[in-house]
Structure formats: structure tokens, C-alpha cells
């Protein structure tokens, strides 16, 4: 296994803390046959910032990046260091590790985690200190005051000017990208939880391994001389309390037999302390291989630390070598030292109390021997720590590689969908494609497709996704019941319960006729739910609503499929770098005409933000009405049309901040999924969202997207992100790494397989009488064309606001310019005026030379209003980019009698290619879509 170990500093002369732990782990990994690499930092003015030096320490390949002043704990570079990120990215490309174990990021910055996410390498972390909460690492401020580990709050008492809110947001955004989080001792876990950093369930205890003595050491106080003290010092002697120890020694009677060997200390510390010249001997740092020799020459190891110690290797090394210990009440030592049993505990920063403890031991050799001989606590070895770590690594790699659990045999799922577009994509196609790796086959049809009953004869599970209880659906359900196949109703909105009807935003500005149609739809969905054995929802809120109707409910979150990830990756690559000081863009993208009230709820906050940021711009996309309070900023508001899924990432990538407001006064909105945050994250754009439960979950409880509740919170969040490029960029990248891992095909498959297993094991419910089917426009079966999986849109006009009548002898033609190669299908949106049809319609696709490329005659009895019908080309157009296609639609009558009205939906468009009965209709277009690439 190739293992990358990350530690802030990695030098042979550093003998304590995380550095020593990493050195020992690396040595053990090598001994066990694995390939460890170490990445760390350095600070030098002699080389360019970000320069990486390669070398060896203890026979381990080591990379060290020049971080400059980033090791200064209260600088922003300590938290988000671009040279560290770039250097680590180069390290990953060169070494190709399978797993990354971070043992500290101070100075390196959380960009290391971002680079790992870019490379797709899982990261686990051991937090050896409080850096994630405290910029000074050990809860000890630069002003010389200790912070309480029991109450770590925002702000630094030693540096009141530090932007702690920004720092916490930067670090919090990286936390969800850590697959596993370890701390060396329980008290560290407790303080991290109390400090609001992590929930307790995310933290695991993994003690550091401590070396045993290589040889037998002489027992303490057997030499007959003075009491021998050892202080092991280090880079931060004052923080470790060396000065306090010297103050305590000065308080002791001169005749008291006691000497101190102070290792890794500067002799100048004794300047002005003439009384200590004979009592204290200072020494340079020692090699770790000399530890037994150093401690063998001591009776008592003194750790008068002023900072909070997370673990303390020194104390445990002393115990294992049967040395008595004096320590302050500094955290980590108290996990293994019990005052009066195996050591003495004194207060921090109290030379008086330390002096009394030293005198007590100097006058009572028997006490020293008793403390040293006390039973040893359980202390792990480096080998045990390495073996435990390898178990974690293997588990994580298996988790990452597993494409989804399998049911052990091929299962055939039949999806009957009553809706097209985003809901179909996220709740059907993404699910179906994710389940392929779990050994399941899926067939997807429109709910009223005439082929549905035959398909129900061969499926193992029938899933009705927002499918009204039509005659075709009823027939499919009857077949499923006869065969003992469970039926599942699936929905991503509260569209099946009558009490939620008046709460739905879709009804706010609609005509009575459309409201009646919505009521009919709710009744149709309610009947399908009543005929089902289980419910599959995208959020807890939707699932709870289904369960209130007596239907067992399970949750499978909306996820993202590889096609959207690929398109988003292309959009990120094309994302232009704006000139410094250029306009910043925030945007709200609506996929339906149901979000006006949501935009209204934050409009005053947006107006205030635009007033405060004169260069900021607001982008409104899709069917949205601009609120009146924003009208005075019209010159800075950009309105864009609705775009299809394959174009959405490019549009989102043009933003600096995405907006996802919801009017949370509506029960309907509380159950909506957090998909807007996911879509924006895929192009590195951070989101400000309303704090609905699904948005809280999608944003990792606000770490990866700012949750704003109320006008002032919205205003401040938007202004802050638009004003801080680094913070916005970091949040966006961190969110993407989280989304790609937690909402990708593998995670969706895992959730879906578990849900399907539960449904299949439970089987059908007792067969109640089926409801009556609802009236529909195509009772004998429809010809609805659903959006294909994975096929990208080429040309489109997705709005539909007027109808052009189709009549015999009055053909409708549309000129269409292909944007890319590989066009293979064209869809047109039909209008039935909600009436059964008897006509026939001929659809033709031709090139500029009138050569027919595809033709289809369709009986209008299979039309469904506002749904698409498709015309497939005889052969995909390999070189279609820039070519002009001509669509021709002709009504062919029905053999006599009165003709029911029939038409095609149109919308305003700048193109001039629409002709009706030979006459041009300027600035209008048919509602259409064409596709490139083969269907997924």
C-alpha cells in the first residue's frame, strides 16, 4: 500500500509530538511491507515560496514545501496556504498514494485536503492538537494566558483582531472531506465536541504508539546521590514550562540534594540565575535512539507544561521506563497519571506548588520508588498503532472501491415516470444508472406508455415515479400484484397529500383552470401511493408525509451521476479568470415557475447587498419574476432563460455565489431536497441557502454552504462571500469534494440497494382493492418521449407560453442550427388542450437540401399536453455542428367529422426560424430540444 503521511515539520532533530509519531509509523509501515512517503513544510527565505525539496529521513522518501511565514499561527496563510496546496498536488502526482493520513496541517493549510480531493485520494486525519479550533495549537494565547479546554469558543484572547469567524469557516469546510478523524486521547475529543467543531460520533480515539525501553534501566534512587530530574525540553521550552521549573528550583533550600538535566535547552536560560549554576545542567537535543540513556540517568521526569497537552509522549515514555513523573494539570498526562499513585500533579504556572512537589520527592526517596513502581496503564506500541491504522486504510479503500452492494442475482426494475426533466433525471435515471453496478437492470417508460403492461410481466420491482394512477398504471399494478411483485411510489415533493395542496408555491399565481389541474394531479398521485406497497422519497420530510398515510417509507437521497460530473468538470475547465476588481455575480437558478415566493423572501436582503457592493451583479435564470424591491437595480440584474441539465454547469460556473432560498413558512418547501447546492458545488461555486433540513444535510450542517435564516443573515452571507475571493473559492472546492464523494453513484447505489433489499424482503402488502384510474388524455397509451439518460442537449427552447394550432394544409416549420456533432434525436412539445385526439401528425427532419433525415407519423390519440414527442434520425449526424436542420410538422386529419383542436407549444425567442402556413413568425420558436451523443 502506498501511504502518504502529512505532518507540518519532519526533521531528525524533532523528537516529540506528531513528528515522532509519524517517524515511528513510517518505520513500521516499511517493516510491514508498505511504501510510506512523508510530506511536510519548511520556512526559508533563500528559495521561492512553494519550492519543494526532496530528500530522505530515516530511509523514508520525504518532500518538504517552502511555506514562508505560514507557520506563524495567527496569519491567514497558516489556514489556507496556496503554495502548500500546489506543492502537495505535485507530491501526489509524483508518488501516487492510495491513502493520505494527515497528522497536522498548521502552516500547510487545508488546501492539502482540497488537493487530495482533486486527486480522488481518501484522507484520514489524526488531530494531535487543537489547531482546528485554536490558531495557537495548544489553547495558550500569545498573550500568555491559557484557554479552558472545557470551553473552547470563538475568538482568541491573545489576538483579538484575528478574523476567527473566517478561519472557522475555512477549516469547517475541509472537515467533511476527512473520511475518518482520530484523536490520541478522550479529553481531546471532548473539547473538540464542546468547541462545536465536530459531533461526537465523527471522532475516534487512536492512542499514539510509545516505544518500550530497548535495554533494562537501573531502578530510581539506587545511586545514593541527589534526586535526579530530567526535563526533555524542545522547540517551545517556555511553553513547556522551563522557566517555571527554574523558578521552582530557585525556591528550594540550597542544601537540598537535587539536580536537573535539561535537554534541548539553551544555556542562556540560566543567565542571571547564579544560584542554579551548580544545580542545573543544560544539554543540546539528543537523538531518539538515546532516549533510554537519557531517562536512565533520571529518577523523575518533570513536565511543567503551561499549554494544553493532547497526549504527552514524554510522560508515557517515562512511565514505561519506571520513572516517577511530576506534571502540571495540562490535559494529556492526566489520562495516565493519577496524583499520588504513579506521579504528582501540580497546577500550571505555579512555581510555588511545583517547588513543594520537588522538595517532597527529594526528601522522600521511598515515595519516588513507590511512584515509579506503580502498575502501568495500558499504552499502545508503535506497531499496534501502525496495524490499527492499516485496518482503517484497508477499510476506507474497500469502501471507496465498492460500487454498491449486490443482491446476489440480477434484478429487473421497471420505472414508470409521470414527469420529465430534473425530477426524472435525479430520481430515476441517476438511480437506474447507479444500480447497474449492483447487478440490477432498469427499464424506464412514461407512465402512460402502451408498453408498460408487457414490461410489468418481467420486472422484479415496479416503481411509480410521480406517476398518476392512469389506466395503464393500474394495468401494470394489477400484473405486479398477480406476480407477487412489490409496487413502490416515488416522489421528491409533497405532491400526493391533499392537506399540502394549498401550501404549494405552484398555486400562487396560477389561473383557476391550472389550479384545478394541480388538484387533479394530487388526487392522481394519491391513488398511485394508495395502490403501492412502499414509498421511496428524497428527503425525510417527504417520507414522513407518506408514512402518515400508512405507507412504509424509505429515503434515498438525490444524487449525481457521472454524466453531470463530466459536464461540470468541463465547465470548471472553461471557467474564465476574471480581472481583479471585476464584477462579482450571485445568482438564483429556477427550474420551474414555482420559486417566485422564494426569491421574494430574500429580495430585501439582495437589494441591501447590491447597495453595499456597487460592482456586484445578480443573475436570475429560469421562469422567475423580478421582485419590485429589486427594480431599482435593473441595470445590474441579468435575466437568463431556462437551460437544460447539460448546460446548467456552464451557467452556474459563471457565478461567484449561488443562491438557494426557500420560503420556510411553507410545509411544502421544508421537504424539498438540497439539489441546488449539489449542482453549484460541482463547479466550485459556494451556495447561500435557507436552513431547511435537506440543505443542512447537503451542506454538512452549514460547513460547505452558508445557511442563512432571516434578511440580515442573508445580506451578511452574500456580502461576505462576494467580498472574499479566497473564502468563496475554498468553500466551493471543499463542497465539490464532499458532493462527489457523498452524493455520487456509489453512495446512491448503497442507499438504494439497502432500500430495495428492505422492500423486496418485506414483499407486497395485503392486497386491498385498487382505486379507480383517473381520467387521462391518452387512455389507450401514450407516445411521450422522456429525456434520455446521459444524452446532452444540443439545441433547445424549454419555455412554453403560447400555442400554434396544427391544421391540415397549414404546416409548421422550424429552422434549427446544430451546435455540436452527433445529433440523433429531436423532440417537440405538443398541445392537446386537454382533450382526447383523433388526428394523425407527420413529423419530418430534413437537411437544407430537403433530404429527409428522419420521419415519424404519430396518432395524436397518444399525445399528452405539454409532453414531448420524439423524432429519431435515421443515423446520428456525425458532423452536424453548424449544420441547419428543418423540422416540418403536418396535421393529416382523421377521415371526417369535427376536428379537435391540436397544436405545438411555442415561446419567445430571438431566432427567426419559425414559419406557420408558409408565413414567418419573428422572434418565436417551437418548444423543442435536440440531443447529441448516444443515450446512456
> Quick one: pLDDT band at residue 505, thresholds 50, 70, 90?
low
What is the per-residue pLDDT for 709? 93
Between CA 237 and CA 243 the distance in angstroms is 8
Please, which contacts does 911-920 make with residues 24 or more away whose CB atoms are closer than 8 Å?
911/815, 912/815, 913/814, 913/815, 913/816, 913/817, 914/812, 914/813, 914/814, 914/815, 915/812, 915/813, 915/814, 916/804, 916/810, 916/812, 916/813, 917/810, 917/811, 917/812, 918/811
Q: What is the pLDDT of residues 819-841, one digit of tens each?
A: 999 999 999 999 988 787 888 99
> Quick one: pLDDT band at residue 222, thresholds 50, 70, 90?
confident
Task: Return the beta strands (E) in 771-891 as ranges.
Answer: 792-797, 802-805, 812-817, 823-831, 840-846, 852-859, 868-877, 884-891
What is the per-residue pLDDT for 543? 95
- Residue that the C-alpha cell 525556591 belongs to: 251
- The secondary element (H helix, E strand) that includes residue 210 is none
DSSP bridge pairs for 915 = 813, 920
Percent pLDDT > 70 in the chain is: 93
Taking residues 499-506, report their average pLDDT: 66
Of 25, 217, 13, 215, nearest in space to 102 by CA: 25
799-821: b or e for each residue (b if 16 or more CB lie within 10 Å)?
beeebbebbeeebbbbbbebbbb
Q: What is the 3-state secondary structure (H, E, C) of 794-821?
A: EEEECCCCEEEECECCECEEEEEECCCC
399: Cα separation from own chain's centroid: 17
Task: Return the beta strands (E) in 157-214 as ranges.
Answer: 178-183, 203-205
Are 326 and 343 in contact by the 8 Å Cβ rule? The answer is yes
Angle between helices 111-119 and 725-742 (to 10 degrees): 40
At residue 574, does pLDDT exceed 90? Answer: no
At residue 808, does pLDDT exceed 50? Answer: yes
Taking residues 443-468, report their average pLDDT: 95
Are 517 and 501 in contact by the 8 Å Cβ rule? The answer is no
Residue with more model confidence, 155 or 605: 605
DSSP letters for 290-308: GHHHHHHT-SEEEE--SSP
- Supply the mean pLDDT for the chain: 89
> Quick one: pLDDT band at residue 70, thresholds 50, 70, 90?
confident
Between CA 492 and CA 507 the distance in angstroms is 18
At residue 479, does pLDDT exceed 80? Answer: yes
> Quick one: pLDDT band at residue 439, thresholds 50, 70, 90?
confident
Number of alpha carbons in the 13 Å side-chain half-sphere of residue 437 = 19
Would you give the DSSP letter of residue 420?
-
Taking residues 291-300, report their average pLDDT: 94
Regarding beta strands 178-183 and 52-57, do their DSSP bridges make them parallel or antiparallel, or are they unpaired? Answer: unpaired
> Quick one: pLDDT band at residue 451, thresholds 50, 70, 90?
very high
Q: What is the pLDDT of residues 858-906, one digit of tens each?
A: 999 999 999 999 999 999 999 999 999 999 999 987 655 566 789 999 9
* Largest separation between any pair of C-alpha atoms in the chain: 126
pTM of the model: 0.83
DSSP bridge pairs for 398 = none
Taking residues 405-428, report their average pLDDT: 83
Q: What is the pLDDT of residues 312-343, one digit of tens each?
A: 999 999 999 999 999 999 999 999 999 999 99
What is the per-residue pLDDT for 410? 66
Taking residues 493-512, report their average pLDDT: 70
What is the per-residue pLDDT for 340? 94
At residue 668, does pLDDT exceed 70? Answer: yes
What is the per-residue pLDDT for 14? 72
Taking residues 524-549, report their average pLDDT: 95
Between CA 679 and CA 619 the distance in angstroms is 16
What is the per-residue pLDDT for 898? 63
H-state helical runs in 402-511: 422-424, 430-436, 452-456, 471-483
Percent pLDDT > 90 in the chain is: 65
Are 232 and 326 in contact by the 8 Å Cβ rule? The answer is no
What is the per-residue pLDDT for 32? 95
> Quick one: pLDDT band at residue 936, thresholds 50, 70, 90?
very low
Residue with more model confidence, 464 or 913: 464
Q: What is the pLDDT of residues 714-751, one digit of tens each?
A: 999 999 999 998 899 899 989 998 888 888 877 888 88
Range with the poorest average pLDDT among 286-290, 294-298, 761-765, 909-913: 909-913
Taking residues 611-623, report their average pLDDT: 95
Between CA 714 and CA 720 the distance in angstroms is 10
Of 317, 326, 315, 313, nearest in space to 367 by CA: 326
271-306: b or e for each residue (b if 16 or more CB lie within 10 Å)?
eeeeebeebbebbebeebeebbebbbebbbbbbbbb
What is the per-residue pLDDT for 149? 52
- The secondary element (H helix, E strand) that includes residue 286 is none
Residue with more model confidence, 233 or 810: 810
Q: What is the pLDDT of residues 92-139, one digit of tens each?
A: 999 999 999 999 999 999 999 999 998 989 999 999 999 998 888 888
- The secondary element (H helix, E strand) that includes residue 90 is helix 82-95
Amino acid at each position: 500500500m502506498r501511504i502518504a503521511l502529512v505532518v507540518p515539520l519532519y526533521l531528525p532533530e524533532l523528537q516529540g509530538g506528531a513528528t515522532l509519531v509519524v517517524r515511528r509509523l513510517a518505520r513500521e509501515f516499511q517493516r510491514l511491507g508498505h511504501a510510506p512517503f512523508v510530506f511536510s513544510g519548511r520556512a526559508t527565505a533563500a528559495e521561492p515560496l512553494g519550492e519543494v525539496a526532496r530528500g530522505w529521513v530515516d530511509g523514508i522518501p520525504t518532500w518538504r514545501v517552502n511555506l514562508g511565514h505560514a507557520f506563524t499561527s495567527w496569519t491567514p496563510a497558516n489556514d489556507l496556504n496556496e503554495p502548500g496546496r500546489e506543492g502537495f498536488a505535485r507530491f501526489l502526482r509524483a508518488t501516487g498514494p492510495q491513502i493520505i493520513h494527515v497528522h497536522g496541517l498548521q502552516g500547510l493549510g487545508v488546501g492539502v485536503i482540497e488537493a487530495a480531493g482533486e486527486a480522488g485520494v481518501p484522507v484520514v486525519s489524526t488531530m494531535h492538537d487543537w489547531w482546528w479550533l485554536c490558531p495557537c495549537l495548544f489553547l495558550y494565547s500569545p498573550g500568555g494566558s491559557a484557554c479552558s479546554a472545557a470551553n473552547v469558543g470563538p475568538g482568541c484572547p491573545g489576538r483579538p483582531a484575528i478574523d476567527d469567524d473566517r478561519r472557522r469557516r475555512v477549516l469547517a469546510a475541509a472537515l467533511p472531506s476527512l473520511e475518518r478523524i482520530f484523536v490520541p486521547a478522550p479529553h481531546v475529543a471532548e473539547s473538540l465536541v464542546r468547541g462545536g467543531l465536530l459531533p461526537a460520533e465523527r471522532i475516534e480515539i487512536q492512542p499514539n504508539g510509545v516505544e518500550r525501553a530497548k535495554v533494562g534501566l537501573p531502578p530510581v534512587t539506587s545511586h545514593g546521590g541527589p534526586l535526579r530530574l530530567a526535563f526533555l525540553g524542545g522547540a517551545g521550552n517556555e511553553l513547556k514550562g522551563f522557566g517555571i521549573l527554574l523558578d521552582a528550583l530557585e525556591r528550594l533550600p540550597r542544601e537540598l540534594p537535587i539536580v536537573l538535566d535539561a535537554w534541548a535547552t539553551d544555556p542562556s536560560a540560566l543567565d542571571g540565575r547564579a544560584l542554579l549554576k551548580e544545580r542545573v545542567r543544560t544539554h543540546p537535543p539528543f537523538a531518539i535512539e538515546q532516549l533510554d540513556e537519557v531517562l536512565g540517568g533520571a529518577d523523575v521526569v518533570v513536565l511543567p507544561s503551561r499549554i494544553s497537552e493532547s497526549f504527552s509522549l514524554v510522560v508515557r515514555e517515562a512511565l514505561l521506563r519506571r520513572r516517577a513523573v511530576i506534571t502540571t494539570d495540562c490535559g494529556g498526562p492526566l489520562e495516565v497519571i493519577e496524583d499520588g499513585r504513579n506521579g504528582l500533579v501540580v497546577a500550571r504556572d505555579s512555581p510555588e506548588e511545583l517547588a513543594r512537589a520537588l522538595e517532597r520527592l527529594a526528601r522522600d526517596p521511598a515515595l519516588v520508588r513507590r511512584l515509579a513502581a506503580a502498575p502501568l496503564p495500558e499504552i499502545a506500541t508503535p506497531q499496534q498503532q501502525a496495524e490499527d491504522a492499516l485496518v482503517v486504510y484497508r477499510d476506507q479503500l474497500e469502501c471507496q472501491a465498492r460500487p454498491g452492494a449486490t443482491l446476489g442475482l440480477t434484478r429487473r426494475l421497471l420505472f414508470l415516470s409521470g414527469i420529465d426533466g430534473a425530477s426524472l433525471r435525479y430520481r430515476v435515471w441517476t438511480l437506474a444508472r447507479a444500480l447497474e453496478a449492483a447487478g440490477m437492470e432498469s427499464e424506464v417508460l412514461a407512465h402512460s406508455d402502451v408498453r408498460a403492461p408487457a414490461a410489468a410481466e418481467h420486472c422484479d420491482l415496479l416503481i411509480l415515479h410521480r406517476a398518476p394512477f392512469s389506466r395503464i398504471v393500474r394495468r401494470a399494478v394489477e400484473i405486479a400484484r398477480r406476480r407477487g411483485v412489490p409496487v413502490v411510489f416515488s416522489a421528491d415533493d409533497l405532491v400526493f397529500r391533499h392537506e399540502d395542496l394549498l401550501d404549494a408555491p405552484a398555486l400562487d399565481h396560477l389561473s383557476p383552470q391550472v389550479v384545478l389541474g394541480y388538484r387533479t394531479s394530487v388526487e392522481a398521485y394519491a391513488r398511485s401511493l394508495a395502490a403501492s406497497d412502499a414509498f421511496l422519497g428524497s428527503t425525510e420530510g417527504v417520507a414522513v408525509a407518506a408514512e402518515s398515510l400508512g405507507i412504509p417509507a424509505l429515503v434515498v437521497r438525490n444524487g449525481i451521476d457521472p454524466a453531470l460530473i463530466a459536464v461540470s468538470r468541463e465547465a470548471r475547465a472553461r471557467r474564465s479568470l476574471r480581472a481583479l476588481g471585476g464584477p462579482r455575480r450571485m445568482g438564483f437558478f429556477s427550474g420551474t415557475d414555482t420559486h417566485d415566493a422564494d426569491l421574494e423572501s430574500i429580495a430585501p436582503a439582495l437589494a441591501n447587498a447590491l447597495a453595499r457592493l456597487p460592482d456586484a451583479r445578480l443573475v436570475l435564470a429560469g421562469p422567475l419574476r423580478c421582485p419590485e424591491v429589486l427594480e431599482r437595480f435593473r441595470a445590474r440584474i441579468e435575466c437568463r432563460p431556462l437551460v437544460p441539465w447539460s448546460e446548467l454547469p456552464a451557467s452556474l460556473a459563471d457565478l461567484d455565489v449561488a443562491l438557494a432560498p426557500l420560503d420556510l413558512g411553507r410545509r411544502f418547501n421544508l421537504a424539498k431536497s438540497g439539489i441546488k447546492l449539489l449542482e453549484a458545488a460541482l463547479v466550485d461555486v459556494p451556495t447561500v441557502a435557507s436552513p431547511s433540513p435537506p440543505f443542512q444535510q447537503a451542506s454538512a450542517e452549514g460547513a460547505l454552504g452558508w445557511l442563512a435564516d432571516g434578511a440580515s443573515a442573508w445580506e451578511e452571507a452574500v456580502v461576505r462571500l462576494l467580498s472574499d475571493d479566497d473564502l468563496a473559492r475554498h468553500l466551493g472546492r471543499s463542497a465539490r469534494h464532499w458532493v462527489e464523494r457523498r452524493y455520487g453513484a456509489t453512495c446512491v447505489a448503497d442507499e438504494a440497494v439497502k432500500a430495495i433489499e428492505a422492500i423486496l424482503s418485506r414483499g407486497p402488502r395485503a392486497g386491498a382493492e385498487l382505486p379507480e384510474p383517473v381520467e387521462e388524455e391518452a387512455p389507450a397509451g401514450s407516445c411521450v418521449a422522456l429525456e434520455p439518460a446521459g444524452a446532452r442537449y444540443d439545441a433547445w427552447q424549454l419555455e412554453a407560453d403560447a400555442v400554434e394550432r396544427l391544421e391540415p394544409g397549414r404546416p409548421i416549420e422550424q429552422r434549427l442550427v446544430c451546435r455540436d456533432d452527433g445529433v440523433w434525436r429531436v423532440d417537440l412539445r405538443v398541445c392537446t388542450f386537454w382533450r382526447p385526439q383523433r388526428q394523425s401528425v407527420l413529423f419530418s427532419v430534413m437537411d437544407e437540401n430537403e433530404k429527409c433525415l428522419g420521419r415519424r407519423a404519430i396518432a395524436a390519440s397518444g399525445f399528452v399536453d405539454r409532453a414531448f414527442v420524439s423524432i429519431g434520425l435515421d443515423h446520428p449526424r456525425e458532423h452536424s455542428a453548424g449544420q441547419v436542420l428543418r423540422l416540418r410538422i403536418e396535421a393529416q386529419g382523421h377521415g371526417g367529422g369535427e376536428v379537435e383542436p391540436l397544436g405545438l407549444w411555442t415561446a419567445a425567442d430571438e431566432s427567426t426560424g419559425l414559419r406557420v402556413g408558409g408565413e414567418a413568425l419573428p422572434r418565436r420558436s417551437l418548444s423543442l430540444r435536440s440531443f447529441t451523443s448516444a443515450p446512456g
